Each structure stands twice: as structure tokens, then as C-alpha cells.
Amino acid sequence: MTTNHEFDPQLLSEVAALPAMPGVYRYFDGQGGVLYVGKARNLKKRVASYFQKNHGGTRIGHMITKIVRMETTVVRSEAEALLLENNLIKTLNPKYNILFRDDKSYPYLKLTGAQAGAQGAAPLANAYPRIAYYRGAVEKKHRYFGPYPSAWAVKDTILLLQKVFRLRTCEDTVFNNRTRPCLLYQIKRCSAPCVGHVTPEQYALDTANAERFLQGQTQEILGELERKMLLHADRLEFEQAAELRNQMSALAKILHQQSMEIGGDKDVDILAVKVQGGKACVNLAMVRGGRHLGDRPYFPTHVEHAADVAALDAEPDASSAGQPKEKSLEALVLEAFIAQHYIDVPLPPTLVVSEAVDKDLMAALAEQTGIRVAAVHQPREQRRVWLEMAQKNAGLQLARLLAEQGSQQARTRALAEALELPMDNLDALRIECFDISHTAGESTQASCVVFKEHKMQNSEYRRYNIEGITPGDDYAAMRQVLQRRYSKLAEAARNGEATLPDLVLVDGGKGQVSMAREVFVELGLDLGLIAGVEKGEGRKVGLEELVFADGREKVYLGHDSAALMLIAQIRDEAHRFAITGMRARRAKVRVGGSRLEDIAGIGPKRRASLLQRFGGVRGIVSASIEDIAMVDGISTELAEEIYRALH
């Protein structure tokens, strides 16, 4: 049975020619947007199922009618298909896949590598490993522990290691220039290797024990410390025995506080999912080295399409006469998270999950990572306690999200009603807000922030460097940024190729609104789009008034108005974004930033010679052309070029 929709014969012929092999497929709409990414053991059979059935008015049917183009990639195994599918989902952001957006990368605890120092020489930093908070790409010469769910979890672990093993946390430059112990030594948080208060051998032993602690080998550490303490006591070395006793006491106290007697589990991830009101939350809790480090919530998008599309996309279950296995929406969300999350994050040997997970998915992950992974559903004892805690947190986080979204939507509606903006599709209501920032006219920047779908759209923010105006002329700066922002957009909108915002906010009163009015008149744009946020009496928050470019009277929304709360939120975000950009640019202008490297002819050696001669970039800025030319390797012509670049 075929669908009522007529497909391009070329597309259908491509479907018929697909091989019966594992692979990944992508569907595209007429505008080139990605509709869906899927994987299959049998590409021909799977893809053909989309075009051979009547899906009626379901979401699947709606998606299929939009398909105008298809791409496929044949792979060697289902593990390869899994990896490619989820990489494409994260990269292409298809409209009908459950998508977990990447937030900032996970933090780690870094233990720097040790190098042997010269015998009898002053202590060198590279001979004494340092513990530090770290986020970024890993290097083989150092050791990394984690990932941790939050920066707080890393810093708390560092504090524990300081208390028990007294490892250093200072930068190498600080270490190499110490002449006496710092405060951390006085409060027994560091053994002061910088001034030789601990032998390299003892520090190496403390470092090894810290590693074992992070790996969960706490009982072994306690046993060894006890044996050494008794040995020192037998030799009447009571001072050394007391040191070990204090270390054991600190470690035992931490074990008691952290409840680390957990029956052998070292590294475990606990995953709980909650779905409600068309939204979902996956709460990920982490246990590393036997310590529960906390949790982090994730909120996927496109959840509403998942069940319909996945029902068609499911593999037949051999145990049920070839009928597709029906999964709950919670299971689909959880499997999507596992598949996407562990592409970039190390996979622990055990996952404790609130929903049963497809065995094929776990097998593919094991093949991909080379680690045998167990997914434990309906756990017992300590694992059950962890899962119940994660489930409770997932419910709380989802309730918070729904409450926030409800209040934000109420604010959007209140603003639309107050300003008579379009009410038919509030999700698509787009507001752009501009702010100007500078310091005494220096490094002027304009910011543009965007509000849409009831939230700030960080990826659409833009900064504009303002040039060629009188320093401090905010009106000219506003004129320039609006012209640059809307000149091309106005032309594209007239041709039906772009959409203008529903509201343009400028941070200022009549003067700024008048400037915006002039620009919009020149560009032939609707003056009703412009509103200025004018400070109230005494510039007090809550007394702001809205000034319009189309001749309407000022509007005071009221200090407790939901509409004013939204305007204040957008205005404050524009100001924050402008301030941070202006400060960064000002710092670069004042100290030369990285512009030395940008000058043709200045490589690492010449840059080092310049910095050494003048003591820093500020010194170079203050130097004359003649002074610069006196540096080895710097000709008069190059000195003139450097002077011009820095002035």
C-alpha cells in the first residue's frame, strides 16, 4: 500500500537500489534542512518501509511528505552505524530525532606527571606532581581522573586529597620561587615540597596513595598505613608513627562522611529518566573511585516526535514473530542519551538505569569503546538507593523546568498583549535588543541579543566593533549598528528570503529611539517595530518606561509586570554581553593583546627578545622606534611596523 503523497521518481529509484547492508540514512526537506537521521541493519528494508506504508496524518506521515532528498552511508557493523548516527544527530540537529545538546565539557581532576630532578639541586616543580582542576583536551604525560559532574565535585575532591595526602596545588612558577612554606603548609594542607620539607620518595608515595584513593582502593591504603605506623612504633620512631596515625584518622573520617563502604562498586553511572508535559529529563549521577560525586540534569529536544518515528524505526524482534518491539517514551529518551552522551565521555563498566536498555545498543557501545559494559535495570541494595535518588532528582529538575518555561511563556504573552504584538504563534515571537558599551569613548562595541521560543538564543548573539565615530557618541554608534544589522536583512525580507524581528529594543530613551527611527525610515522598515527602554526616575529598577518610534505615548508597565520582567531580562542580557566584549577588546587595545604575533616578521624568537628587552607589551608600547630598532634582529623598517601596529 502506498501513501497518497507523490514522491520524486528519482528518490524512489534510489530507495529501490539500496543495498541490504548495515548503514545510516538521512532525510532532507526542500530547504536542505535535515529531517531525520537513522541507522539500520538492513538499509534497503528499513528505508523502504517509510515509503511503502500509508502513515496518514501522524507525525511520521507529516515528516515523510517533506522528504525530497536522501543520503545513505554503508558501514561494516552496527557499532559503526551507532557511532556515525549519533555523531550526525549531534552535528546536523535533525527535526525528528531526540537531541541532547552539548553543554560545556566535563571537568576533570589532573595529576601532573613527575620528572626526575638533579641530585642535590633545589626542588623543582616537575619532580613533584600537582593536583589541579582541569577542563579541556587531555595530554598523555599527565593523569586525569573523572569526569566529574560539576566543578564543585572536583574542588571538593582536591580538598580531600589536600587533607589526607597533602599534595601541592600551586602553579609551577610559584613553586620554583618559594623560599619558605605557604599558608597551606601551616594549616596542614600541603607538605611543602617547594622548600624540601618532604623527601621526593615520601611525596611519591603520597602521590601513589592519592591515585589509589581516586581509584577506590581505600581499604588497601588504610591497611598499608597501619602496617607502616606499627613498624615505626616498634622502632621507637614515634614522630613518623604519629604522622601516619593522623593520615589514617583523616582518611577514615572521609570514608565515614562519604559512605564509601559500597560493596565493590568503583566507577558507576546512574541514569534516571522522567517524561512529563511533552518534556523529558535525564538525570546522570556519577560514582568514581567509590565516591558519589553528584549529578547533572539533561533536557532533550524533539521529544514529541520520538515515539511515532521510533515505532517505525524499530528493529524486528525475532522472539515475537518479526513484530517490532514497542518501547516506552522513557526508554527511547534514555537510549538516545546513552548513544549520544558516551561518544565523547568515558564509559564506566556499569550503568544503573531506570529503564531497560536495548542489548544491541550496549553491545555496540562495548564494541565501539572496547569496554564490557553492564546495564543494570531494577538494581538492589546500594545501587537501588542511588537510582531512587537519581529518579527523585530527575522529577524535581523536570518540575523546575516546566515551572520556568510556564512563567517564561506567561511573560512572553504578557509582553505581546501589552505591545500589541502578534499572538498567533508566541513560540516564534522574535525580539532583538541592542546596547552600546565603551569606556570614555575607548573600544566602543555594540551588542545584539536575540530572544525567541521563550528564551535567550545565545548562538544568535552578535557583537559589532564601532569605528569612525566621535568617541563617546552613543547615538552615532547606535545608528551604525542598526544600519549594519538591518540593511541587508531589509532587502532579503522584501524578497521573502528572511523574516524581520517582531520587536527591536534599544537600551535608551528618546535620543536612541530617534536615531533608530531615522535608520528604519531610510531602510523602509516598519517604525512600529522599535521601542526604547528608558530609565525611570532616579534610574531605579522597575520604573522603566517604553518609548516608541511610531508616535505612540510612553508606556509604563508597572514594577511587578510580567512584561517588564521580560524586557528587563532581555535588556540586562544585552548589557552583559556588550560589557564583556568591550572589556576584552579594551584589554587587547591597552596591552597589545596578541597583536605582536599578528605583525609580519615577528615570530616566537623576536617576540621573546622584545618582551625580554622591554619587560612586557606595555614597555614595547611605550618605546620609541629607535629603542625598538636596537633589539637584536629588529630592523628600522620592522621597528616602524611594530610601532604602527601598537599605536
The pLDDT tens digits for 308-365 are 666 665 544 444 444 445 678 898 899 989 988 887 788 888 999 999 988 888 888 8
3-state secondary structure (DSSP) of residue 622: helix
Nearest to 85 by CA among 377, 360, 375: 360
Please, are residues 642 and 599 in contact by the beta-carbon 8 Å criterion?
yes
| Strand 143-145 versus strand 431-439 pairing type | unpaired
Please, are residues 77 and 367 in contact by the beta-carbon 8 Å criterion?
yes
Determine the pLDDT at residue 52.
74
The pLDDT tens digits for 419-435 are 888 777 888 899 999 98
Pairwise pLDDT comparison (166 vs 616), residue with the higher score: 166
Pairwise pLDDT comparison (394 vs 551), residue with the higher score: 394
Sequence spans of domains, the chain: 9-92, 110-258, 268-314+327-398, 426-589, 593-646
Partners of 455 in the beta sheet? Answer: 452
Report cis status (omega within 30 of 0) of the bond before 123: no
| Strand 503-506 versus strand 431-439 pairing type | parallel
pLDDT higher than 60, residue 261: no
3-state secondary structure (DSSP) of residue 551: coil
Report cis status (omega within 30 of 0) of the bond before 147: yes
CA distance linking residue 221 with residue 335, whole number of Å:
38
For helices 303-313 and 43-52, angle between their N-to-C axes, nearest 10 degrees: 110
Express the helix, strand and coil content of the chain in percent, nearest 5 each: 50, 15, 35
pLDDT higher than 90, residue 103: no
Question: Does the domain made of 593-646 have the CATH classification 3.30.420.40?
Answer: no
CA distance linking residue 97 with residue 82, whole number of Å:
14
Question: To which H or E segment does residue 145 belong?
Answer: strand 143-145
C-alpha cell at 636: 628600522
Count Cβ atoms below 10 Å from residue 105 Cβ, excluding itself: 12
Determine the pLDDT at residue 541.
63
Encoded amino acid at 197, one letter:
H
- For 104, list phi and psi in degrees, rounded to 5: -60, 155
Superfamily of domain 9-92: GIY-YIG endonuclease (3.40.1440.10)
The pLDDT tens digits for 446-457 are 889 999 988 899
> For the residues 244-250, what does the mean pLDDT come to?
69
Supply the DSSP string of 274-333, one letter for each residue: EEETTEEEEEEEEEETTEEEEEEEE--B-HHHHHHHHHHHPPBPGGGTTPBPP--HHHHH
pTM over 0.85: no
Q: Pick from 278-282, 352-356, 367-371 the range whose average pLDDT is largest.
A: 352-356
Instruction: Find where cell 550526525 sits.
Output: 88
The confidence band for 3, taking pLDDT boundaries of 50, 70 and 90, is very low
Determine the pLDDT at residue 117.
54
DSSP state of 557: -
Encoded amino acid at 154, one letter:
V
CA distance linking residue 97 with residue 39, whole number of Å:
12
| Strand 455-456 versus strand 462-465 pairing type | unpaired
The confidence band for 24, taking pLDDT boundaries of 50, 70 and 90, is very high
3-state secondary structure (DSSP) of residue 168: strand
Nearest to 614 by CA among 636, 635, 592, 599: 592
> For the residues 300-311, what does the mean pLDDT come to?
72
pLDDT higher than 70, residue 540: no
C-alpha cell at 214: 581516586
The confidence band for 54, taking pLDDT boundaries of 50, 70 and 90, is low
What does each C-alpha distance from 14 to 10, 21, 474 come to in angstroms?
6, 15, 58
Q: Do the domains 426-589 and 593-646 sit in the same CATH topology, yes or no?
A: no
pLDDT higher than 60, residue 262: no
Q: Who contacts 275 (Cβ-Cβ below 8 Å, separation ≥6)?
A: 303, 329, 330, 333, 398
Per CATH, which fold does 268-314+327-398 belong to? Nucleotidyltransferase; domain 5 (3.30.420)
Cα atoms in the Cβ-side hemisphere of radius 13 Å centred on 192: 14
Pairwise pLDDT comparison (617 vs 69), residue with the higher score: 69
Please, are residues 537 and 389 in contact by the beta-carbon 8 Å criterion?
no
Superfamily of domain 426-589: UvrC, RNAse H endonuclease domain (3.30.420.340)
For the chain, counts of helices (H) and of strands (E)? 22, 18
- For 110, list phi and psi in degrees, rounded to 5: -105, 135
Q: How many residues does the chain have?
A: 647
What does each C-alpha distance from 210 to 111, 123, 199, 549 come to in angstroms?
10, 21, 17, 66
Pairwise pLDDT comparison (637 vs 394), residue with the higher score: 394
Q: How far is CA 520 from the centre of its chain?
A: 37
pLDDT higher than 70, residue 101: yes
C-alpha cell at 151: 566543578
Determine the pLDDT at residue 354.
93
The pLDDT tens digits for 460-481 are 899 888 888 887 788 888 999 9
Determine the pLDDT at residue 257.
45
Please, are residues 610 and 617 in contact by the beta-carbon 8 Å criterion?
no
Determine the pLDDT at residue 587.
53
**CB under 8 A, 24+ apart: contacts of 376-380:** 376/350, 376/351, 376/352, 377/353, 379/352
Nearest to 220 by CA among 196, 211, 403, 234: 211
Least-confidence region, from 210-219, 438-447, 502-511? 438-447
CA distance linking residue 314 with residue 28, whole number of Å:
20
The confidence band for 440, taking pLDDT boundaries of 50, 70 and 90, is low
Pairwise pLDDT comparison (317 vs 395), residue with the higher score: 395
Mean of all residue pLDDT scores within the chain? 80
Pairwise pLDDT comparison (140 vs 305), residue with the higher score: 140
Encoded amino acid at 516, one letter:
A
Count Cβ atoms below 10 Å from residue 439 Cβ, excluding itself: 12
The confidence band for 271, taking pLDDT boundaries of 50, 70 and 90, is very high
Please, are residues 297 and 393 in contact by the beta-carbon 8 Å criterion?
yes
3-state secondary structure (DSSP) of residue 124: coil
Partners of 143 in the beta sheet? Answer: 111
Partners of 38 in the beta sheet? Answer: 25
The pLDDT tens digits for 165-189 are 888 998 888 888 888 888 898 888 8
